[in-house]
Structure 1
Amino acid sequence: MSHAPLRPCLLALTITLSTIGQPLSALADSPANEQSALQVYDLPAAPLGVTLSRIARDNNLTLSIAASLVQGKTSAPVQGRYTSQQAAQQALAGTGLGLNVTENGTLSVYPLVETGALNLGATTVSAHHVEEARGPVDGFVATRSATATKTDTPILEIPQTINVVTADQVEVQGARDLTQALRYTPGLSTNGFTDRNTIADEITSRGFAPTFLYLDGAYLPAAGSLGGALQIDPYTLERIEVLKGPSSVLYGQNQPGGMINLVSKRPSSEAKHQIKVGTGSFDRYNLAFDFTGPLDEDQTLSYRLIGVGNTGGEQVDHTKDSRKLLAPSVRWTPNDSTELTVYAQVQRDDGLADYQALPAVGSLYHNSQGNKIDRDAFLGDSKWNNYKRDQYVLGYQFSHAFNDVMTYRQSLSYVDVNDRYKGFYLNRFVTVDGVADTHATRTKLDWRQQNSSYTFDNHLQSDFATGALQHTLLVGLDYRSFTRKYQGYNLYGSEVIDLYNPTNYRTTGVPTLTTKWDNRIKQTGLYVQDQIKLDNFILTIGGRQDWAKVENNDLLANIREPQNDNKFTGRVGLTYVTSFGLAPYISYTESFLPSVGTTAPERGAKAFVPVTGKQYEVGVKYQPNDTTLLTASVFDIKQQNVLTGDLEYQEYQLQAAEISSRGVELEAKSSLANVDLIGSLSYLDAFYTKTNYNNKGKRNEAQAPWAASVWADYHFTGKALQGVTLGGGARYTGRNNGDSSNTFKTPSFVVYDATVSYDLAALDPGLKGVSTSLNVQNLFDREYVSSCNYSFGCYYGQQRTAALEVKYDW
């Protein structure tokens, strides 16, 4: 991983930027005329490199700068009508730098006062890109995002919390899946069964689960039970963006805790190639490659091909898994105004899994015999347990800029997942030989799901001014069709198992079909959003009208329950961006989620209305330069119309529950000199405010109130250790309730991780591009219970796991 852009080294960076739309200077073709065209600017103070890049990009110019000249400098605000040269000069005010413009229109900067300390000498040209909201990020600190607004927006201007995990962070920390990649992100819980069962991801955000996942803005089917969800390999991603709070205005039905958008790697016109091979704990082996570059001399066509293959065991005895993945994509850019990317992904996962939760007595506590269940105990049948998943992704993204004011974007995505899990789950203790807590009954199961969804989104973005107001107006229409087919085969009276001596791995009974569903949800949404700038104020306001049709088909009972819902959701936020990079904000957002079913016939058999959520958030972001970002937020969420049991008619439910979640989140990310730092702290007070049961006023067990993490790595540059990177982190999870009635708690724990890598080019220049890394998770092999959600719903955390990789880039 190159860290040259993150420290003040003397490199010359040549940045060639082209706009999606035509600049105002489109009336003339020469660079001189482009320089003389007036354009309206309303750019707040920001990192100098970002502001200069924005000016160059908006005018289809080339920018050539020395990274050391702009490192740590902040631009002056640029507001008014200027030529591109005047705008750049305005941005440089007070920085001690001057502007030079060549005959062909290239912008460059130079120090106004020569000092002996600056001597560029012989420089090396590095192809450093300017960050775009949907593109790659150098290092750990992202400065732009498109998830929260569907427009390329600085994170400072977004009036909601958004946390970005970059591909560099994923690689340095050695994350194998999404769960591991988000362990150092505040406000999330990655504990539970996915903490040690790496074939699935289920994230809790601000006390609500599951957090819906999106791939490049397109909805990914959520797990209905155990299975039925895609798992996107992090090696295929440029960044992982976590938008906190309700997000229905732009994305339709959602949980109020937030959403996670996975941004894929896309073709590049710059040829780059990478191969990785590795091995690790439990006899794991992996191979991955990533190739991209142009397909023609004019670079109008470019491609990307990503492949992943791995196999090996897991920490639970007898378990294993394997993956084969291929993800091709092609991009066509016939001109600076038009872009079309077509992409696909085929993935096959196969293994022997054991997803069983454990009883609190035996995992969290010693049993009556003073024993605990081994954390690697396999409680299934190695001839029965099995997991297979086939998943497919196919889609395209299209954009066209009609002019410098108006841009149209369209995307279509189809995803399909077909999986099957054969295993067991424990039910309750049974007395054997007079001992009541060593044996348990269990259910033998065979669950099969096929989930698929179409997501179609198109919107028109207009950038214009009305007097002193600068607008970024977004008008869009989207459509989502989701189909879930599920067959549940269960044998409720399977053989009793000895939890402490599970030698009987063979079972004889065969599960029978007990559940068969064919559920469909269709949703159409019309949304409008405007980002309005006046001086340093940014008002973000939006609204959406949704029409949802739900069809719940119980094929065994021959029951069909259709219902139609429509819902308006809104969003408003105000941000103030200071000249020194401080941005306080306040916002209000809403969400909705359709509910399937009706009340009891005695209560009128009324169809359930959508579950709704609303959030108030106040926060502040601070970005003194392009290598540091600090965020702090306070929020209050209420989820209403939540389903709860009907005590009088127990086969039915009522919409009589409400959940409240409020808390504080802090995050700091920085890359200073040779050090990368990540720090996070969160406090969550989530509880049941309304319910039919005895848990009213009790804390929500889904997430621990306190959590914190810190990560640091250091890149050695001295002669003795040049090329070495040494890093480590700690993850703290506080005490948490083990069930909704708060009858027992799980203790707090701290888990440590470590990494060391070496760039072999420091040893021999002939090995340029070759590097090796070692990652260790749970360095001190702490044994702990990750979480519990009821008395038979506890999960051990991941034990010490090491991975060694060798990578070659060229």
Structure 2
Amino acid sequence: MKINFTKPLILINLLGLICLNVFAQQRTTLQGTVKDSHGITIAGVTVSVHGTNTTTTTNNRGIYKLQLIQGKAVVHFNFIGFKEVVKNLDLNGTDVAENIVMQESTDDLQQVEITGRKEKTYKTKATFIGKIENELKDIPQSVSYASKELIADQGLMRVGEVVKNFSGVNQFSFYDDLTIRGFRVNGQSNTQLLNGLRTSTGFWKQSLANYLERVEVLKGPSSALFGNASPGGVVNRVTKKPLDETRRSVSLTMGSFNTFRGLADFTGPATKDSTLLYRLNLGYENAETFRDLMFDRNFVIAPSLTFVPSEKTRINFDLVYTDSKSRLDRGQPIFGSFDLNSTPQSLSLNTTNDYLNELTYNATISITHKLTNNLSLNVSYLKTGYSENLNEHRTSNAYGVDANGAPINDLAGMNVQIRKRKRFIDNFSGYINYTPKTGIIEHKIVAGYDFGSEKTPVGGWQLTAGGYRNAANSGAIASYVPANKSKYLLDAAGNPVPNVPHFNLNDPLSSQRMQDDSKLFFTQSIVAPTYYYLNSGYVQDQFKIGALQVLAGIRYEYYTDFAGYKTQAEAKANSHAWLPRLGAVYSINSNINLYGSYVEGYNPQTSANIANPNAGGPFDPLKSNMVEFGTKTSWFRDQLTVSAAVYQIKQTGALYATPGVVDVLRQIGDEQSRGFELDVIGKIMPNWNVIASYSYNRAKILESGTVGEIGIQKPNAPKNTANLWSRYTFIEGVAKGLGIGLGINYTDRRNLIYDAKFSPENQITIPSFTLFNAALFYNIGKLQLQLNANNIGNKKYWVGGYDYLRLFPGQPENYMFTVGYSF
């Protein structure tokens, strides 16, 4: 049978021609030029079509071009510092030329961060960290930040990784544990901020950062704004808020260390009149690490709702819930010869039956109501809950000893800890924003009341096994004393037998296997319940006279801690402080501001707010002050900012580890930090983003009972750091849609915590390092492909450390591939 294909082929060709013709008729080219009111073209304007994912930006000549479907279209033109332009167009198939003139914006600032940020850039113009929205250039203190766009481009998932972009900020350890301008800041103390409200984190494991809009650091003591805090600065995590336009995206990441990660972000109006907006961020991670026996199983759900019943009132609800399952990584141990290369960086002291399960939630409700055109009331409440379930084999912070008490340098002393505990934090903040004008003086007045509390409730407990076995092998003695050798169980060589077998650094595999802990001698203790609360009142005025802005504020902090909480010996311990904040900003012109400031800090150090309630004390409160001068400038039509600062911070009363004693702290005298910082962030061209920083920091101990500590650089405080990241995206030609990212990170050598048992020349110092990172991006319509390459060249380095048994190595060379889809 002969089959005739001629007619079907002719029909197919005709249908193809018809489809091509219909398609051609349905597509319209929209193009034009965007200028300001002075006729100067504007590069980098975002041009988007409402209800679609069609978007572009104007090129260096202010020209834009879009391919649109025939019919009605609502086109938005947005650029920071200018009023939005909206064009309703009826596209009939003919190419359309639409030239746009944008007017500079004089709109009032929104005062509280309750609506989402629509911009998709590295640069942020304003912050709410001072309880009122301020342009960053008008704040008389240094502020470093990273937007969600920068975080995504670098493929980062932890705040500890993000801070590499900030001047004067670096990691202290694997945990939520940072150094800012030479002073330690950790997430376990109630001095972290979430949307400007006081909270803490689980500390041991940092959660995914996919729900964050940005991470920002206000440098220097911030007690006048937030109460007790580190003198180096305060970290504020800003969550993503709902938008009044629909945006949806999902992404999958796979790569080194058997990483699998899925993220989703959905936002938009929940009602037709947009009085109710929603946002939902989801995150799931299942990954190993380069460290032995370590893994991360994380789940994050972060819903947010904004209710806008009227133009004067906004109500916002946020929840961030994280479920983390992992093991607690205490770091890399090395031999007692103090050779950093004596063990592999992958080595951990854990066993296969260790676990760390953490649940954390942060629930926030915020209300803002505009009473008049220049007076608004703001009320926020944040509830934090944390639960920990831990089983770990960890270092005792010392090597095993022989019969004479001398260290055996290849045997790490071990403890076993099994612990359950909870922690709850409440934070209420109520304040008014008042912006009157008296004659030629413009005011921004903030006045309010804060209440904060933290409680470790009854019910926490801990089992601890450590020390050396007694002669009858019926119990354990905390430490070995050679003069009392007859009291201890001895092995064939005459050495004391440890309660928990030492970790053999020459044979780690035998020590990492599952251990039978039933044969250990445990001591049981309660996790001491703790409770403190604070009441604070404050007032601040930032007034403007011509080119000069002066900021003056005062806060009164009354702190109440319960010593022996929930015991018969319970007693209140009170402390209080007046905390001033002074600053001035002078505008030489619209692009250059000079500033100076003086601030004081205060942080009680009691059983309720130090990391370990059994660490000792009582301790005197930390007191600090800072003097800072700097300049903030903007370039390329405010698309690129360059800031520089010099500062001096003084602090007295810091707590340091006691050599040779687990978890017990000691208090030293004065410390001083002096330095210089430079930060660059923004766009050089519409398609060329950059962030760069440099810092010099001389942070030293001035007074201490340990003579060898005086004058040395403070622990984990590098003198020099420098960072650069740049992304260039091709917007024209055959390479359109392709992006290239390149980064360099340099960190100077650092001292670890000084141990008085060894001479200063034996102090452990981790070396300087330079890392190279890169990324490739490719957009195909709604689909984005991304490849991140980190630590190219496989540089061996350490992000921080505590001592010779707790070093924290950085990741070796690794690659992550991400597929993202927006719809």
TM category (shorter chain) comes to 0.7 to 0.9
How far apart are the structure 2 equivalents of 1:356 and 1:254? 27
Are the aligned partners of 2:338 and 2:804 in contact in 1 as well (CA < 8 Å)? no
Task: Tell whether 2:256 aligns with 1:281.
Answer: yes
User: More deviation in 482-491 or 252-261?
Assistant: 482-491
Task: Tell whether 2:411 aligns with 1:403.
Answer: no
> Kindly tell me: are residues 697 and 106 of structure 1, through their superposed partners in 2, closer, same or farther at Cα, counting changes over 3 Å?
closer
Deviations 1:293-319 (A, max 9, x none): 112111111111111111121111222
Task: Report deviation, 1:656.
Answer: 5.5
**1:144 paired residue among 120, 123, 126:** 126
How far apart are the structure 1 equivalents of 2:86 and 2:440? 28
TM-score using structure 1 length: 0.78
Q: Pairwise mapping of residues 622-701 of structure 1 onto structure 2 (< 5 A)?
A: 622-624=633-635, 625-643=637-655, 657-673=669-685, 674-694=687-707, 695-701=709-715
Counterpart of 2:224 in structure 1 is: 249
**2:801 paired residue among 783, 788, 802:** 788
- The one-letter amino acid paired with 1:784 is Y
**1:359 paired residue among 330, 334, 342:** 334
Task: Report deviation, 1:419.
Answer: 1.5
How far apart are the structure 2 equivalents of 1:659 and 1:757? 46
Task: Report deviation, 1:652.
Answer: 9.9
Q: Pairwise mapping of residues 307-386 of structure 1 onto structure 2 (< 5 A)?
A: 307-359=282-334, 361=336, 364-366=339-341, 372-383=342-353, 385-386=354-355
Task: Tell whether 2:436 aligns with 1:455.
Answer: no
Counterpart of 1:414 in structure 2 is: 383
How far apart are the structure 2 equivalents of 1:393 and 1:14? 44
Counterpart of 2:717 in structure 1 is: 703
Are the aligned partners of 1:700 and 1:740 in contact in 2 as well (CA < 8 Å)? no
Task: Report deviation, 1:232.
Answer: 4.5
**1:215 paired residue among 194, 202, 216:** 194
Counterpart of 1:35 in structure 2 is: none
How far apart are the structure 2 equivalents of 1:12 and 1:275? 33
Are the aligned partners of 1:668 and 1:680 in contact in 2 as well (CA < 8 Å)? yes
Task: Tell whether 2:436 aligns with 1:470.
Answer: no
- The one-letter amino acid paired with 1:660 is Q
Task: Tell whether 2:516 aligns with 1:508.
Answer: yes
> Kindly tell me: are residues 568 and 804 of structure 1, through their superposed partners in 2, closer, same or farther at Cα, counting changes over 3 Å?
same
How far apart are the structure 1 equivalents of 2:542 and 2:31? 38
Does the residue aligned with 1:240 lie in a helix, a strand or coil?
strand
Are the aligned partners of 1:333 and 1:339 in contact in 2 as well (CA < 8 Å)? yes
How far apart are the structure 2 equivalents of 1:561 and 1:784? 48
> Kindly tell me: are residues 643 and 346 of structure 1, through their superposed partners in 2, closer, same or farther at Cα, counting changes over 3 Å?
closer
Task: Report deviation, 1:252.
Answer: 0.9
> Kindly tell me: are residues 472 and 638 of structure 1, through their superposed partners in 2, closer, same or farther at Cα, counting changes over 3 Å?
same
Are the aligned partners of 1:644 and 1:692 in contact in 2 as well (CA < 8 Å)? no
> Kindly tell me: are residues 654 and 235 of structure 1, through their superposed partners in 2, closer, same or farther at Cα, counting changes over 3 Å?
closer
Task: Report deviation, 1:143.
Answer: 1.4
How far apart are the structure 1 equivalents of 2:450 and 2:516? 50
Are the aligned partners of 2:332 and 2:345 in contact in 1 as well (CA < 8 Å)? no
Are the aligned partners of 1:347 and 1:390 in contact in 2 as well (CA < 8 Å)? yes
How far apart are the structure 1 equivalents of 2:657 and 2:290? 37
Does the residue aligned with 1:159 lie in a helix, a strand or coil?
coil
> Kindly tell me: are residues 532 and 424 of structure 1, through their superposed partners in 2, closer, same or farther at Cα, counting changes over 3 Å?
same
Task: Report deviation, 1:124.
Answer: 11
Are the aligned partners of 2:33 and 2:41 in contact in 1 as well (CA < 8 Å)? no
Q: Pairwise mapping of residues 10-159 of structure 1 onto structure 2 (< 5 A)?
A: 121-122=97-98, 134=113, 135-136=116-117, 137-147=119-129, 149-159=130-140
Counterpart of 1:533 in structure 2 is: 544
**1:777 paired residue among 790, 793, 799:** 790
Counterpart of 2:49 in structure 1 is: none
Counterpart of 1:489 in structure 2 is: 463
Are the aligned partners of 1:418 and 1:450 in contact in 2 as well (CA < 8 Å)? yes
Deviations 1:217-243 (A, max 9, x none): 1112266xx64xx84531101111110
Are the aligned partners of 2:34 and 2:99 in contact in 1 as well (CA < 8 Å)? no
Task: Report deviation, 1:559.
Answer: 5.3
Counterpart of 1:585 in structure 2 is: 595
How far apart are the structure 2 equivalents of 1:723 and 1:377? 42
> Please, which runs of 5 or more residues in structure 2 have no aligned partner?
1-29, 47-56, 64-80, 88-94, 467-498, 609-615
User: More deviation in 513-522 or 402-411?
Assistant: 513-522
Deviations 1:146-184 (A, max 9, x none): 11x211111111000001110000000000111111111
Counterpart of 1:197 in structure 2 is: none
Task: Report deviation, 1:786.
Answer: 3.0
Counterpart of 2:16 in structure 1 is: none
How far apart are the structure 2 equivalents of 1:412 and 1:719? 52
Counterpart of 1:517 in structure 2 is: 528
> Kindly tell me: are residues 408 and 620 of structure 1, through their superposed partners in 2, closer, same or farther at Cα, counting changes over 3 Å?
same
How far apart are the structure 1 equivalents of 2:623 and 2:366? 31
Task: Report deviation, 1:432.
Answer: 8.7
> Kindly tell me: are residues 49 and 403 of structure 1, through their superposed partners in 2, closer, same or farther at Cα, counting changes over 3 Å?
farther
- The one-letter amino acid paired with 1:772 is L
How far apart are the structure 2 equivalents of 1:771 and 1:234? 20
TM-score using structure 2 length: 0.77
How far apart are the structure 2 equivalents of 1:299 and 1:580? 36
Deviations 1:728-785 (A, max 9, x none): 211111112233365432221111211111101xxxxxxx211111112212221223
> Kindly tell me: are residues 280 and 552 of structure 1, through their superposed partners in 2, closer, same or farther at Cα, counting changes over 3 Å?
farther
Does the residue aligned with 2:271 lie in a helix, a strand or coil?
coil
- The one-letter amino acid paired with 2:364 is G
- The one-letter amino acid paired with 1:536 is A
Counterpart of 1:4 in structure 2 is: none
Are the aligned partners of 1:357 and 1:425 in contact in 2 as well (CA < 8 Å)? no
Does the residue aligned with 1:375 lie in a helix, a strand or coil?
coil
How far apart are the structure 2 equivalents of 1:484 and 1:190? 27
How far apart are the structure 1 equivalents of 2:41 and 2:583? 26
**2:817 paired residue among 782, 787, 804:** 804
Deviations 1:224-283 (A, max 9, x none): xx64xx845311011111100011111111111110111111111111111111212121
> Kindly tell me: are residues 10 and 288 of structure 1, through their superposed partners in 2, closer, same or farther at Cα, counting changes over 3 Å?
same
How far apart are the structure 2 equivalents of 1:488 and 1:530? 49
Counterpart of 1:569 in structure 2 is: 579
How far apart are the structure 1 equivalents of 2:419 and 2:651? 30
Are the aligned partners of 2:220 and 2:231 in contact in 1 as well (CA < 8 Å)? yes
Counterpart of 2:399 in structure 1 is: 429
Are the aligned partners of 2:35 and 2:100 in contact in 1 as well (CA < 8 Å)? no
How far apart are the structure 1 equivalents of 2:641 and 2:287? 38
Does the residue aligned with 1:317 lie in a helix, a strand or coil?
coil
Quote the sequence identity (%). Answer: 21
How far apart are the structure 1 equivalents of 2:424 and 2:745? 35
- The one-letter amino acid paired with 1:400 is H
Task: Report deviation, 1:358.
Answer: 1.8
Root-mean-square deviation (CA), in Å? Answer: 3.7
Task: Report deviation, 1:484.
Answer: 2.8
How far apart are the structure 2 equivalents of 1:70 and 1:152? 32
> Kindly tell me: are residues 244 and 266 of structure 1, through their superposed partners in 2, closer, same or farther at Cα, counting changes over 3 Å?
same
Does the residue aligned with 1:380 lie in a helix, a strand or coil?
coil
How far apart are the structure 2 equivalents of 1:566 and 1:290? 44
- The structure with more radius of gyration: 2
Task: Tell whether 2:160 aligns with 1:190.
Answer: no
Does the residue aligned with 2:160 lie in a helix, a strand or coil?
helix
Are the aligned partners of 1:221 and 1:452 in contact in 2 as well (CA < 8 Å)? no
Are the aligned partners of 1:646 and 1:692 in contact in 2 as well (CA < 8 Å)? no
